[in-house]
Chain A
Amino acid sequence: MRALSGLCILCLCLPPLSAQWLKYPTAGIPRNADGTPNLSAPAPKTADGKPDFAGLWRQANGVKYTVNLAADLKDGAPLLPAAATEYKRRQDTLSKDDPVGHCNLPGVPQVNAVPYPYKILQNAGQVTILYEAVRTFREIFIDGRPFPPSMNPSWIGYSVGHWDGDVLVVETRGQNDLSWIDSGGHPHTEQLVVTERFHRINLGTIELETTIDDPGAYSKPWTVRYNLTLMPDTELIEYVCTENNKDVEHLVGK
């Protein structure tokens, strides 16, 4: 069942990767003697001494976490009864209602786990992520602002970050309850708080730890760890979900 929904996502998600600057070399990264990027070189720092996450990244596990963010949890995600019922409904209907399949926005954390690259840009007060998938973006404010007392629910939520040593800790709140945690259909409510810990351990790797805390859908917070790998010497390409979308008619469930 999960394999099928994973397949669905793959059909939706994999246009041919023909970039205009497909082989344009990334400037300023350490290289080996043969010219290939030295992905195990130390992670770079910004001018103010912070770890620099800038670059083009993708998650390194195919669609494993795209389809099931809780794939590594022995007993699965700690679903509350209502959430378990909804999850079963989505699984039983082969994820036909996945909002991303219908060209709506993926929320956080689903947007990080899609099988597409994304670019991280880092300025002093803000980290911006450009996602190839659905051509969306996220702003993470690291200027010390607090969350507002009331947030209009949105697909991508409101994100603020701070430094914990070399780790960028990002907290996201204010998401609507329409997005799914993954394409398999793990649900969430508007109470969802997502904490992402980004740790760039070397030039080529970010360790990403994602914690889902949603007392409306889960009995306790749960955490997932996967890596992002650098994609040097290439670029993002254009993704337009709404153009000539022929997939929705085939998402019929069973």
Chain B
Amino acid sequence: MVMKLASLRSAQVVLLIAALAMPLVAQWKNLPMNGPKKADGSLDLAGPAPKTADGKPDFSGIWEQADLKYFRNLAVDMKPEEVPMRPEAKSILQARTNGALGNQEPDANCLPQGVPKINGAPVPFKIVQTPNLVMFVYEAFNLWRQVHMDSRELVDDPNPTWLGWSKGHWDGEALVIETRGFNGKAWLDTAGHPASDALHVTERLRRPSFGRIEMQITIDDPKMYTRSWTANEVLKLVTDTDLYEFVCLENERDLKHMNK
């Protein structure tokens, strides 16, 4: 069903990508990139990942999705029957599958893409790392996320939000980020896999080489799925450039052309 869904919605996806993929025109030139170099002086993206002063893996840099398929369908690597959807999740996905609800997708209305969808957007984001705080700065929708690395705990009944409340910890070389406290309005992908306010997202980031982050995303939402499920995304380092300004609402002409 999910494969069929992808083709049914391809027109809408194209629209969405047209809306999101603004030309990547950087304003800064000749940016020096620190990192391992090849003999010819160019960056060695296969070289070792850097460490921070306190010996932790350093995820700093500008990153983008290696494959946009997860943006379209977070469960793309699973067989449709393997996605453990509850009946209500199936009916929501089915309603969104025919494309008629595309104009309800939050980002089509300039509302924030939630976590984890925002990681998959076809524009880059920057990770800024300090010992107690890791920050994601997203070109998409000009948004940011804070990941607290101290010992704080989230309250039992957090104020519902689009991007949730994130705290992180180290598991060896992996940065593990737990996010809860969602409002249940965001879609997990443009296909429309739903999430509720019970959503709990775990992002597990590893940087095996200078140019690559492996990001394992686990969706745990007992109201929508019978068990947790996982997607394995890859991020590529984007070199010699910087983020660009993204203002969704300014002169927005797409929504009226979507569906109906």
Contacts and interface: CB of A to CB of B under 8 A. Distances in A.
Given A121-B135, A242-B110, A20 B27 contact: no
A126 B245 contact: no
Interface stretch (B9-17, B71-79, B151-159): B151-159
B142 A105 contact: yes
Contacts of B154: 20
Contacts of B165: 20-21
B170 interface: no
Contact of B109 (A24, A47, A121, A242): A242
A24 B112 CA distance: 26
Interface stretch (B92-100, B126-134, B188-196): B126-134
B28 A145 contact: yes
Contact of A155 (B27, B135, B137, B247): B247
Contact of A174 (B27, B112, B162): B27
Interface string A87-115: 00000000000000011110000000000
B152 A21 contact: yes
Interface size bracket, A side = 35 or more
Nearest to B32: A143
Nearest to B141: A135
A154 B128 CA distance: 22
A126 B128 contact: yes
Contacts of B112: 135, 240
Contact of B53 (A20, A47, A126, A139): A47
A151 B159 contact: no
Given A121-B133, A145-B28, A136 B142 contact: yes
B111 interface: yes
Contacts of A148: 27-29
A135 B159 contact: no
A128 interface: yes
B249 A104 contact: yes
Interface in A137-190: 137, 139, 141, 143, 145, 148, 151-152, 154-156, 158, 174
B31 interface: yes
B173 interface: no
B245 to A, nearest CB: 4
B174 to A, nearest CB: 22
A47 to B, nearest CB: 7
Contact of B249 (A54, A137, A141, A242): A242
B119 to A, nearest CB: 17
A236 B154 CA distance: 14
A157 to B, nearest CB: 9
A24 B247 contact: no
Contacts of B53: 47
Contacts of B129: 123
Contact of B146 (A24, A236, A242): A236
B137 A139 contact: yes
A72 interface: no
A27 B130 CA distance: 14
Interface in A17-70: 18-21, 24, 27, 47, 54
Interface of B: 25, 27-29, 31-32, 53, 60, 109-112, 126, 128-130, 132-133, 135, 137, 142-144, 146, 148, 150, 152, 154-155, 158-159, 161-163, 165, 181, 242-243, 245, 247-250
Interface of A: 18-21, 24, 27, 47, 54, 102-105, 119, 121, 123, 126, 128, 130, 135-137, 139, 141, 143, 145, 148, 151-152, 154-156, 158, 174, 235-238, 240, 242-243
17 contacts: A20-B159, A27-B132, A27-B150, A54-B130, A104-B250, A123-B60, A123-B130, A126-B128, A130-B146, A137-B142, A137-B143, A137-B144, A151-B27, A238-B162, A238-B163, A240-B162, A243-B111
